[in-house]
Structure 1
Amino acid sequence: MEYLSSREAQNNFGELLDKAQRSPVVIRRYGRDSAVVISVNEFNEYRQWRAQKLKTLVKEINKEARDNGLTDEILEQILASDDEFTDKESSVESRL
């Protein structure tokens, strides 16, 4: 991974884009990491990875909810409810 100051990135933008095609480039501003420039390919891979992680998480949560007795009917009641569930004691478990 390469590092450039924000001034170097600004003054050598074309070079920054070329470097980002090969590997991520960290942009530092006032000595601190400020941003990372990556290729479109790498960004798309990240988005796919993130979407897959989200799907896996949703499946895990769904399974846990079903294992704990959450039914479609109870879920519909919860979603249709106008209550804000701000009280810490209000939870899905208390509705089961």
Structure 2
Amino acid sequence: MRAVTASEARQGFAEIIEAARREPVVIQRQKRDIAVLMSMEEYERLVHLNVAEFQRFSDQVGAKAKAAGMTEDVLKGLLSSED
């Protein structure tokens, strides 16, 4: 992964955009990573990966709740008793 300073990114923005099409580019300010520029394809891949992972997690939690006897009726009863 390439790293550039914020000044370098500002001065060579077109070049940084082209580099980001190939790999993420870390932008640093005062030797600290502050941002990452990446291709739209990589961004969309990461978003879809996170959505799929969240769905798997939700399915696992739902399966455990169902195995423990949790149903919509039980949940509704719990929620209505809080009122």
TM-score by length of structure 1 reads 0.80
Instruction: Report what 1:77 is aligned to.
Output: 77
CA separation of 1:62 and 1:21: change in aligned 2, threshold 3 A: same
- Note the 1:30-41 alignment, pairs <5 A: 30-41=30-41
Q: Please show how residues 7-46 of structure 1 align to structure 2 within 5 Å.
A: 7-46=7-46
Aligned length: 83
Alignment-derived partner of residue 50 in structure 1: 50
Unaligned runs of 5+ in 2: none
The amino acid across from 2:39 in the alignment is S
Distance 1:27-1:70 versus aligned 2 partners, 3 A rule: same
More helix by share: 2
Which residue identity lines up with residue 69 of structure 1 in the other structure?
G
**Aligned counterparts of 1:5 and 1:51: Cα–Cα separation in 2:** 32
Indicate the structure whose relative CO is greater, using CA pairs within 8 Å and at least 6 residues apart. 2
**Identity %, equivalent residues:** 30
Residue 78 (structure 1) shift: 3.4
Quote the Cα distance in structure 2 between the aligned partners of 1:80 and 1:40. Answer: 45
Q: Normalized against structure 2, the TM-score is what?
A: 0.91
User: Cα distance, 1:77 vs. partner?
Assistant: 2.6
- Partners of 1:23 and 1:74 in 2: how far apart? 49
Matched position secondary structure for 1:64: helix
Specify every segment of 5 or more residues in structure 1 that has no aligned partner in the other structure, as ranges.
84-96
How much is the aligned-residue C-alpha RMSD, in angstroms?
1.4
